[in-house]
Amino acid sequence: MAKFIYRMQNILDIKRKLEEQEKINYGLANQKLAEENEKLQELLMRRAGYDKQMKECMVGAIDLNRIRQIRYALNTMKTLIRNQMIAVHVAEKNLELARKRLKDVMVERKTQEKLREHAFDKFKQEINYEENKVVDELVSYTYHRAE
Could you tell me the CATH number of the domain that includes residue 79? 1.10.287.1700
> Which DSSP helix (H) or strand (E) runs through 147?
none
Domain holding 40, by residue range, is 9-110
Residue 81: the pLDDT is 97
pLDDT at site 1: 63
Provide the pLDDT for residue 138: 83
Q: What is the pTM of this model?
A: 0.77
What is the mean pLDDT of the segment spanning 57-69? 86
Asked whether the predicted pLDDT for residue 144 surpasses 80, the reply is: no
Query: Which pLDDT score is estimated for 147?
Result: 63
Residue 145 lies in a domain: no
How many domains are contained in the chain? 1
37, part of any domain? yes
Whether 135 is in a domain gets the answer no
Are the beta carbons of 84 and 36 closer than 8 angstroms?
Answer: yes
Report d(CA 4, CA 61) in Å as an integer.
88
Cβ contact 20:102 at 8 Å: no
Q: Which of 40-49, 102-111, 137-146 has the lowest mean pLDDT?
A: 137-146
